[in-house]
Amino acid sequence: MKTLVLTATAGLLFAACAGHTPAANPDTGATGPTPKWAQEVGKPQVPPPPVEFQAPEPGEAKPLPRAYQGAPPQIPHDTSDMAITGDENPCIGCHTTEPGAKKVAGEAPPVPQSHFVDDYQRNYNRDARRGVQTYRQAKIAAAHGLLGARYLCTQCHVPQAKVKPWVESTFSAR
């Protein structure tokens, strides 16, 4: 008799809990509370302030110091009308693309040799005596000029502009 009562009680409890589903949000159809980020979706966003470039035309400004050693140099002019596409790269028109070209005073800096050579293809060797892994960089020259990964200049290089940071940064590379 005890077993029958316990089994019946457990079955009723299970049936009562299994039939309950949380109410769906009428806007999204999702269940549960709406996350904070989702509450902001659809609200009017504040547009960014207009950007004032350091120098509107190429050649009018000196480059800024780099943020840290090895950082790519920034672009000291407006690039809003210089769209880089698969067929055209307006940067190449002013920046010499001859491998090994030297900087000439008064001219745009040339594209560095590193943009014609793939430094990222490496050959790894295992030194069994020392138990360490060593590598030598295999410098592979690009057959057609600029490496494909270096063709999109603005992937690493960004225009210098006078803007107030939206988020405070305490980064220091020194």
Q: What is the pLDDT of residue 121?
A: 47
The predicted-structure confidence for 51-64, as pLDDT tens digits, reads as follows: 777 666 777 777 77
Cβ partners under 8 Å of residue 101, min gap 6? 110, 111
Reported as a pLDDT band with limits 50, 70 and 90, residue 2 is confident
3-state SS class at 72: coil
Query: Any idea how long the chain is?
Result: 174
Q: Are 153 and 71 in contact (CB under 8 A)?
A: no
Q: In angstroms, rounded to a whole number, what is the distance separating the alpha carbons of residues 5 and 49?
A: 71
Sign of CA dihedral 158, 162, 167, 169: positive
Residue type (1 letter), 88: E
Q: Give the pTM.
A: 0.53
Beta bridge partners of residue 127, listed in sequence order? 132
Q: What is the mean pLDDT of the chain?
A: 73
The predicted-structure confidence for 134-147, as pLDDT tens digits, reads as follows: 544 445 555 456 77
Query: Distance of CA 75 to CAs 34, 60, 94, 173, Å?
Result: 42, 12, 13, 20
Q: In angstroms, rounded to a whole number, what is the distance separating the alpha carbons of residues 165 and 170?
A: 12
